[in-house]
Structure 1
Amino acid sequence: MEHRLLEYFIAVCEELHFTRAAERLGISQSTLSHQIQLLEHRVGAPLLTRIGKKTYISEAGELLLKHSRNAFHELDQAQAAINELSSMQRGRLRIGCSGNHLLTSAMISFHKQFPGVELSVTELATDETKEGLLTNQLDIGVVFLPFEDDLLESITLYNEELQLVVSDRSSLADAQCIEMKELQSYPILMLQKKFLVRQMMDNYCTEHGFLIKPILELSTLDSLLQMAKSNIGGAVLPRSYLINNGGPDIRPIPIIDPVPHKSVGIVYRKETYMCASIQTFIRELRNSFEV
């Protein structure tokens, strides 16, 4: 089966629109349609279905898409190995993370050693990072663990604790600590439920027989911090985030009984060729979290 036909097929699956896929590939829509028909003839099954202006992937198409992505992943790994042998110091490292603050130190050190390697860092929920790794759209991830999947490996970096952050004008500003159950009686700001930090808090509460209903659910740590600074409520934030994002106008308060904590680690796809850039970035990450 031709490499080019699979490229065309993957583009249509990702766009779910023949016109957009054709524009992305730099060919005409009629040429693309003909190539997809040729591919369907070769595999002996319909791969895509058009209903009106919408395009859907058939069951056979889903199978071919999965195996095609795996095939391209293997080709990418072969090219990476060849580039390494040729001492090429170019390329791109794609990273998904639960918070950009986790990578700052490692990125600075890495860039000094590999200035020719482009770093692409995207802040994602843990499940989104997992999806990116499994579809070969990311090289590594930095997420909350455990991260269980037969196709992925993980390396623990450190243990993260969550804290309540309030404004220096808050009634809790002088508190030395706060029990988790006390959060029920205070206006709380939290990440949306798709984030593992939020799921972790919800699970702790369920296990101890109570529920925290946040007054605001936001999608970034920065937005939570800004709301806390404005004295809208108390934000539940990772302690590591506050190291470089603190200030005189906020008060971090340890949460106790229980202390909400979770391991943070690196995840990557098994059998991925670990080129020098990936190995170095992982080493820099591990060094940045050593006490």
Structure 2
Amino acid sequence: MDRSKKSINHYFIRALLLSLIIHMAFLFSHFDFKKNNLIGVNQEKKIKIVLIDDEKRTSDKKVEEKKRQIVNSSQKTPVDEKVDSKFLGKTNQLFERQTVAKQIGSFKDAGLGVEHGSDWLSNKIQNIENPIIKPKTKKINHMLSKEKISLKDLLVNQNMAKQIIANKETASKGIRSGDRLKIGPSMNNDFIEDVKLGDFTKLNTTEYKYFGFYDRIRKRLEQFWGNSLQEKARKLQARGGRIPAGENKITSLKVTIDKMGNITNVFLKSTSGIIELDEAAIESFKQAGPFPNPPKGMIENGYAEIEWGFVVKS
């Protein structure tokens, strides 16, 4: 009976997690340098979490409208003039048609191949072109090591490698116009609405000088967001909760960092309506920090505030 119950619970959790298309939205572009909003910054190793009330949220509405979203996008030769776009990015980019990658995951451009290519072949190509070099170790049995590798084995492996690379363009996963130096389909995890899906993420962006710092934060968060969400999904299931289908659940945080990049405060600016999702967002940020070496231009009076959104689509 216990085994059957555990099996059902495990199936529920897997079904719930697989039904969630997870995006991390980056809904910020400016820092608010308001020292009077910093609460508890002198408390060592303590992070204060605050829910901003509706009155405060309404008063900030005009400021919010001016903010633009920082996104990842495929890079071509940057345009010289400034691009008037709702998106901020690494460089000034202008495309005839904007699209967002269909697959969700850490940002990457598509590799050369075909849409329904082989995952196995893609992995083989990646291993051949980017071999893992193991550290040298002392040989305990020199004669035995020689017997294990024959000339025939070397020739077979070389021929196999040549065949795999020769079939790269037609058999590995990717697209016909993909990058020869990339493997697999294009991916993106920015939460972007009103832009059509495509084989690449091509967005018109205005160059943002602090993009590199945001990108570092993004990559750190990607390491913790998924695991934290899985843990909270189990908690949600345990209390009999669920995420309504077809809804975007957005948790918006305002995070204060000091000049060393340490997190000093986390404000829950707006809730997703599901406490477990809010907790996952907060815990992910706490685990991802600190964020060393923030650009000096972003710091005022020793602190800066970053706004970050976490989105779960079901």
**Interval containing the TM-score (normalised by the shorter chain):** under 0.3
Q: Please, what TM-score do these two structures have when normalized by structure 1?
A: 0.24
More strand by share: 1
More helix by share: 1
